[in-house]
C-alpha cells in the first residue's frame, strides 16, 4: 500500500501557519521545561505516594507535549527543535523537495534549505 505524498507548502501556506505556531511553540517549550525539571522528583515521590501533585503536573505537561507535537505533525509541519521553536515546512523548489525553514521569533518564513542540509544550510528565499 502506497503512502500518501507528504504535504508541500507554498510560502503563503507556510506563513499562514505562523500565528498558530507562535501560540503553540511557547506552550510546548514550557511543558518540556516542566517535564525535565520535575521528572526526577516525580520518580522519587511516586515510590512513596504515587506521585502526588508533582506527578499530576508532570503528566499534564506530558499530555500538552503530546497534543502539541501531534497538532504540528498533523498539519504536515516538521518540528525540528522545540527548545528553539525551529520548524520546517516541506516545499518544492525548482522541482525538488526542500524545506522552508522558520524559527520562533522570526517575523516571517524567509529561509529554505535542502532536505539533507539542515539549519546550517539555510539560505534566504
Contacts of 68 (CB under 8 A, 6+ apart): 24, 27, 28, 31
pLDDT in tens, 10-51: 999 999 999 999 999 999 999 999 888 886 666 665 555 555
Residue pair 41/54 in contact (Cβ under 8 Å)? The answer is yes
pLDDT in tens, 71-116: 999 999 999 999 999 999 999 999 999 999 999 999 999 999 999 9
Placement of cell 500538552 in the chain: 64
Amino acid at each position: 500500500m502506497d503512502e500518501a505524498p507528504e504535504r508541500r507548502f507554498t510560502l503563503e501556506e507556510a506563513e499562514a501557519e505562523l500565528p498558530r505556531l507562535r501560540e503553540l511553540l511557547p506552550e510546548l517549550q514550557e511543558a518540556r521545561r516542566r517535564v525535565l525539571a520535575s521528572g526526577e522528583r516525580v520518580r522519587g515521590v511516586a515510590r512513596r505516594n504515587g506521585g502526588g501533585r508533582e506527578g499530576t503536573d508532570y503528566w499534564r505537561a506530558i499530555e500538552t507535549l503530546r497534543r502539541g507535537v501531534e497538532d504540528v505533525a498533523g498539519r504536515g509541519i516538521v518540528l525540528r527543535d522545540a527548545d528553539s521553536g525551529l520548524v520546517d515546512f516541506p516545499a518544492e523548489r525548482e522541482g525538488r523537495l526542500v524545506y522552508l525553514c522558520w524559527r520562533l521569533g522570526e517575523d516571517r518564513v524567509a529561509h529554505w534549505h535542502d532536505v539533507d542540509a539542515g539549519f546550517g544550510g539555510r539560505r534566504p528565499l
